[in-house]
Amino acid sequence: MSKKPVILITDDEKSIRNALREILEYENYSILEAENGEQALGIVSSKHVDLVLLDIKMKGMDGMEVLEKIKEQRNELPVIMISGHGTIKIAVDATKSGAFDFLEKPPDLNRLLISVRNALNSSELIRENRQIRTQLHGQTELIGNSPAIGRIKKLIEKVAPSNSRVLITGENGTGKELVARAIHHNSNRASKKFVDVNCAAIPAELLESELFGHEKGAFTGASSRRIGKFEQADGGTLFLDEIGDMTLEAQAKVLRVLQEGHIVRVGSNERIDVDVRVLSATNKDLIEEIEADGFREDLFHRLNVIPIHLPPLRERRDDIPLLSVWFLERLAEKEIVFAGKSFSEEALEEMQKQDWPGNIRELQNSVERLALLSQEDVISKSDVQNQVINRKKNKDLLDNLLEETDSFHEYKEEAERIFLLKKLEKYDWNVSATADAIDIQRSHIYNKMKKYDIER
């Protein structure tokens, strides 16, 4: 895999772009060019870029405005400003707006190369620090510039330093755990543990032991003392995910802990004081659950001090291109894909049109599939259509068939028909190539095409 850093040169003078390209390519950097601010922003949002060299005085959108928009999209991306009309005020304004450095035209060669190296090193340090934080605390960065995400970021900033309980709601895959981690990461408890419990994944009979711990011999199979999640999170944050799936009995015991501030291990009478901030999340409507006697109203009011609702991805489509590029860059950082892999603008537009019922989780999986299966360095619109849209259509067909038939034979034949049709399309209806790819004889393919009435 190529490790050459990618530098975007943005200047409306072609001669300047050519001169900078010649210098930087000689130093073994990969170069992209933009002749105006709009082009630059399009490249930053769709391609992997490590550094931007940005002219201040350009036709249309000037460099300062472009700098501001780049920082909104990717705050960690270093930008070196270049101007033929350099003044101390311009340099100060650029630095205040987030520029890494300011160079006058024509830039001194040594100064240019030193600034580029320093900017790239700084960017690498930021990435390494982010990876370390992610390994230690999990991902805590909310990606998106939509008004909805902007409001949530401000709310997190406001409530994180307090000890208030927060109830996070939203569909599956919208990033509820990410919000909880961001609250903890920005709180006064950040140096302590963040402990998460998936209430839906633990059998009801084991949930009490999981939350409060147990003593040796408390029940059959309790061969040693167990420290529960509340104790583990003492001084830190406990995240109760899928709280709507907790049994009423367990809800009553959690309510008691929140009221009294202590727990009792299963099989013990000893009270253990715990100082825990509780964050919770659910994809259910707890008001409806309360009306159906499936959730305690008193616990709901204890948990719902600060409500945060995460909108589904289809309600913040402006964030889809940004998220897609961000996921692709994380794959490159982990060396799962080539660092130069990028999206075409048409591909991102196609991604933006989709509803993503699985939300961010589905988008992330789709980006990884596109990155690994697309043949070219640039992921195209047709890649999105083949790997995302058509794949979803086939899944929907099979899901509908599951609902419509109880016949295993009928389901198996329809699945086989869809599989063969898609493979023939993939290999441009070349029967020999398709036969080799799916490891069956050509005669079998012809027989099945006849059987299922498949024609080009």
Task: Name residue 101's beta-bridge partners.
Answer: 80
Q: What does the block give as tokens for 72?
A: 């909104």
Share the mean pLDDT of the chain.
Answer: 87
428 pLDDT band, cuts 50/70/90, is confident
Q: How far is the C-alpha of 396 from the C-alpha of 404, rounded, in Å?
A: 12
Pick the CATH number of 6-136 from 3.40.50.300, 3.40.50.2300, 3.30.420.10, 3.40.50.970: 3.40.50.2300
Residue 393 has pLDDT above 80, yes or no: no
User: Which one-letter DSSP state was computed for residue 175?
Assistant: -
**Count of Cβ atoms closer than 10 Å to residue 43 Cβ:** 20
Cα–Cα nearest to 164, from 302, 282, 299? 302
Region of poorest pLDDT, from 70-79, 272-281, 389-398, 422-431: 389-398
442 pLDDT band, cuts 50/70/90, is confident
Q: Are 314 and 355 in contact (CB under 8 A)?
A: yes
pLDDT tens-digit readout, 256-311: 999 999 999 989 999 999 999 999 999 999 999 999 999 999 999 999 999 999 99
Cα 97 to Cα 81, 102, 114, 286, 428: the distances in Å are 11, 12, 21, 44, 51
> Phi and psi for 164 in degrees, rounded to 5?
-65, 145
> Phi and psi for 103 in degrees, rounded to 5?
-125, 145
Region of poorest pLDDT, from 81-95, 164-178, 187-201, 366-380: 81-95
Contacts of residue 212, defined as CB under 8 A and 6 or more positions apart, other chains included, come to: 228, 230, 231, 253, 257, 263, 264, 265, 266
| Strand blocks (E) in 292-395 | 306-309, 342-343, 378-379
State the DSSP string of 203-261: -HHHHHHHHH-B-TTSSTT--S-B--HHHHTTTSEEEEETGGGS-HHHHHHHHHHHHHS
Q: Are 359 and 49 in contact (CB under 8 A)?
A: no
* Sequence spans of domains, the chain: 6-136, 147-309, 315-451
Q: How far is the C-alpha of 378 from the C-alpha of 290, rounded, in Å?
A: 50
Q: What is the CATH number of domain 315-451?
A: 1.10.8.60
Residue 58 has pLDDT above 70, yes or no: yes
pLDDT tens-digit readout, 333-363: 887 887 778 999 999 999 999 999 889 989 9
pTM above 0.85, yes or no: no
Q: What is the CATH number of domain 147-309?
A: 3.40.50.300
Range ranked top by mean pLDDT from 300-314, 327-341, 439-453: 300-314
Q: What is the pLDDT of residue 422?
A: 80
Residue 424 has pLDDT above 90, yes or no: no
Query: Would 6-136 and 147-309 be classified into the same CATH topology?
Result: yes
pLDDT tens-digit readout, 110-131: 999 999 999 998 877 776 665 5
